[in-house]
Structure 1
């Protein structure tokens, strides 16, 4: 039996410009906004710290 993954993709809204993009919740590198270049997610060694509004979870 294959265990279910606890990792997810999140739809995040940038705090600065309002751009929506999809981010991995356990990102290993800093994720920047595609429009304004602001930091959207910062790695912590486990789950990334999301700096913006989480709009939804993709499954």
Structure 2
């Protein structure tokens, strides 16, 4: 399975969390519950700032 992981910073609480670029479910912030990414059928729609690419394959 090829894909990319991103470190995303929540705009509300500034928590950083790793998100899979092809997430098939909604990804929420572990601290405040804000939606960080939504599935779109292919690549996920990341709704907050991408800080860095953690791993790319």
Return the TM-score normalized by structure 1.
0.87
Give every structure 1 segment of 4 or more consecutive aligned residues whose post-TM-superposition deviation is greater than 3 Å: none
User: Counterparts of 2:33 and 2:21 in 1: how far apart (Å)?
Assistant: 19
Aligned residues: 55
Structure 1: any 5+ residue segments left out of the alignment? none
CA RMSD of the aligned region, Å?
1.1
Q: Highest CA radius of gyration, 1 or 2?
A: 1
User: Counterparts of 2:11 and 2:36 in 1: how far apart (Å)?
Assistant: 8
Is the CA contact 1:11–1:58 (under 8 Å) kept in the aligned structure 2?
yes
Return the TM-score normalized by structure 2.
0.90
2:41 aligned partner: 45
